[in-house]
Amino acid sequence: MIYNKIDFNLKRVLITGGAGFVGSNIASYLQTNFPKCEIVIVDSFRAQHKFSNGNLKTLGHFKNLYGFAGELISGDINDEKLQTTIKENYKFDYIFHQAAISDTTAKEQDIMIETNVNSFQKLLDIAIIHNANMIYASSAATYGSSDIFEVGYEKPSNVYGFSKLMMDNIAMKYIAKKPNISIVGLRYFNVFGKNEFFKHSTSSMVLQFALQILSGKTPKLFENSDKIKRDFVYIKDIIQANILSCDPKKSGVFNIGTANPRSFEDIVDILQQKLQINNGKEYIKNPFVKQYQFYTKANIDDAIKYLGYKPNFSLEDAIEDYIKDIKDIYKDEVQI
């Protein structure tokens, strides 16, 4: 599906974090629909370096790029030499900035701010030099403990959410200066879909529950999970939003979700129906009650009005579309 009238053929596009979940899907969309698009991916790729919480620092994986035919640069966006190379050796038309530390439980504030905030500002400066429209990944984590999911009501509850809010603040300052480019931040809500497996413990509960079910396990839910609702948005709608944001007339920060929150109970019920496997359910106490987000709902009015965004996938439709990929992941990566 083509999401707007822009012809990306013969355009040069930079995707940071292009071996990750969202970045690899953007690359696939562009390569499939615009075979003459010149795509350059920058990614630090997976290594064994870990945060103090035990999670990997880098999540990009070569398997997410099977079939990719563009240019690939392995590097850290914090590296000044890499930044200089991007600035001086290329001329981009669009920059999709997806690279970030996205682990909401990471405690290393210094690395989080350097990677998510400082590098973003340097990339913005490069975008202005290149006259390249900038589309970057923000997050619903900016809202944190807020019960109003609109720009201006942010209460981030972890350093990740704070870093994304700082990115948005920088973007709005640049927009106010009326640069020669458009700058669009997309606050993703709970994203799931193809190429998320290599996020491992930070992958969506849609995938985690599905793999539990396929492994013959009883999915574990927190007590009262039917009342815990989140705005789950499918990766294809996230890609739609990114492509629509390339219009040079548009700048701003927008929520990207469905505006239709669903429960974790719904996810398990739909998965067991679509997989035709019923392993029942097990309920456990929620150990994170004090810092847990029990409800999210994206206000997508501005995304509809200014971007032309319209979510195409309900939770049922998205899981139906995702089932084949889930089964392939289980067969290729999980099943012994």
pLDDT value at position 336?
60
| Strands, E assignment, the chain | 12-16, 38-43, 71-74, 94-97, 133-139, 183-188, 190-192, 220-222, 229-230, 232-234, 252-256, 262-263, 282-284
Number of structural domains the chain divides into: 1
CA distance 48 to 27: 25
Pairing verdict, β 220-222 and 252-256: unpaired
Q: Is there a domain that residue 2 lies in? A: no
Question: Is residue 49, in this structure, part of any structural domain at all?
Answer: yes
**Residue 42 located in a structural domain:** yes
In a domain, 271, yes or no: yes
Enter the tokens of residue 85.
């190379």
In a domain, 3, yes or no: no
For residue 240, being part of any structural domain is answered with yes
pLDDT the model gives residue 268: 98
Looking only at the bridges linking them, the beta strands covering 12-16 and 38-43 are parallel
The closest of 10, 203, 35, 21 to 98, measured between CA atoms, is: 21
* CATH code assigned at 108: 3.40.50.720
Percent of the chain with pLDDT over 90: 85
Print the domain residue range for 290.
12-331
* DSSP element (H, E) containing 242: helix 235-244
- CA-based diameter of the chain, in Å? 57
**Residue 157 token pair:** 């509850």
The two tokens of residue 42 are 């920058």
Q: Which residues pair with 94 in a beta bridge?
A: 13, 133
The answer to whether residue 5 is domain-embedded is no
User: Is 4 domain-assigned?
Assistant: no
Give, for all 336 residues of the chain, the pLDDT tens digit.
Answer: 888 889 999 999 999 999 999 999 999 999 999 999 999 999 999 777 887 877 777 788 999 999 999 999 999 999 999 999 999 999 999 999 999 988 777 888 999 999 999 999 999 999 999 999 999 999 999 999 999 999 999 999 999 999 999 999 999 999 999 999 999 999 999 999 999 999 988 899 999 999 999 999 999 999 999 999 999 999 999 999 999 999 988 999 999 999 999 999 999 999 999 999 999 999 999 887 766 788 999 999 999 999 999 999 999 999 999 999 999 999 999 986
